[in-house]
């Protein structure tokens, strides 16, 4: 459900929630500069997120709905959005558990298997110009994963990092060489998977209901090993059980563990753009190992 046009980001989160859901807000609890927990009339709690870029809000809402449409993983329902506001279910957070991790792995495998029209395809109704975290992410499609991954996921962030001075020119050559080797490093060809796209631990919520919930997607069609590589990169409780569950449903191609670095180049460079030199060094180290 979209709200009427013209309500800007200066609106109160409670007022935005009331407008988008049709139910008065009775309580507001700010969680960050952009996120507020709002209690609606009747007692339901929702999360109200403000986005300054309309494309970011549109992309997140479309991504959540696309992931939910697969019926495989738990995703907060979208109760309404417009150009500046997104209202979703609030997920009560509990403690990570091995049993929930295995279920999550099975669900993630099924999500990936649900597929996408092409590598780089945005969610239905989602914009071409989307976001991963605070960084712009352009969803341009391509039929060949290694070439698409280099051109539309690795190299755009490398160019920006070089322009910002975060990656030095000599280091950029190492990453470019790794990109040239992607056709031989990528492993067996796979169909486009339906990716969460920003699957770091902060976007994985361990609910009190025993389910694992996924939030803040940068959803698009991609290679399924990319989601798993991000879980490896930033850590995930009971990751071994997640992987066991995943392998039960959709076994990974032989040699997948050796390709983790390939898929980590993208998130490392995104983080270099957003957070600086430390991640740039990690990206160069990974690329140097791949370029040997």
247: which 2 tokens? Answer: 């392998």
Q: What is the number of alpha carbons within 13 Å of residue 151 lying toward its C-beta? A: 13
The verdict on whether 12 is a catalytic residue reads: no
Catalytic residue among 82, 89, 198, 216: 198
Catalytic residues: 198
């Amino acid at each position: 459900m979209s709200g009427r046009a013209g309500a800007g980001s200066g609106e109160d989160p409670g007022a935005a929630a009331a407008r988008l859901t049709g139910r008065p807000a009775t309580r507001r609890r700010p969680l960050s500069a952009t996120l507020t927990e709002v209690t609606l009339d009747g007692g339901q709690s929702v999360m109200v997120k403000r986005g300054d870029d309309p494309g970011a809000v549109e992309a997140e809402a479309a991504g959540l709905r696309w992931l939910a449409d697969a019926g495989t993983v738990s995703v907060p329902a979208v109760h309404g959005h417009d150009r500046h506001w997104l209202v979703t279910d609030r997920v009560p957070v509990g403690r990570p558990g091995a049993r929930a991790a295995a279920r999550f792995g099975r669900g993630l495998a099924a999500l990936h298997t649900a597929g996408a029209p092409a590598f780089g395809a945005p969610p239905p109704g989602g914009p071409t110009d989307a976001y991963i975290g605070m960084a712009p992410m352009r969803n341009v499609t391509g039929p060949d994963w290694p070439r698409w991954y280099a051109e539309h996921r690795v190299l755009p962030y490398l160019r920006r990092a070089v322009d910002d001075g975060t990656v030095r020119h000599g280091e950029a050559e190492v990453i470019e060489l790794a990109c040239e080797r992607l056709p031989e490093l990528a492993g067996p060809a796979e169909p486009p998977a339906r990716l969460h796209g920003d699957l770091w631990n902060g976007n994985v919520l361990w609910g009190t209901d025993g389910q694992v919930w996924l939030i803040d997607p940068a959803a698009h069609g991609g290679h399924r090993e990319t989601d798993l590589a991000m879980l490896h990169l930033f850590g995930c409780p009971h990751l071994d059980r997640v992987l066991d569950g995943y392998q039960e449903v959709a076994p990974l191609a032989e040699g997948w563990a050796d390709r983790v670095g390939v898929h980590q180049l993208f998130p490392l460079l995104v983080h270099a753009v957003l957070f600086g030199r430390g991640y740039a060094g990690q990206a160069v180290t990974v690329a140097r190992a791949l370029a040997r």
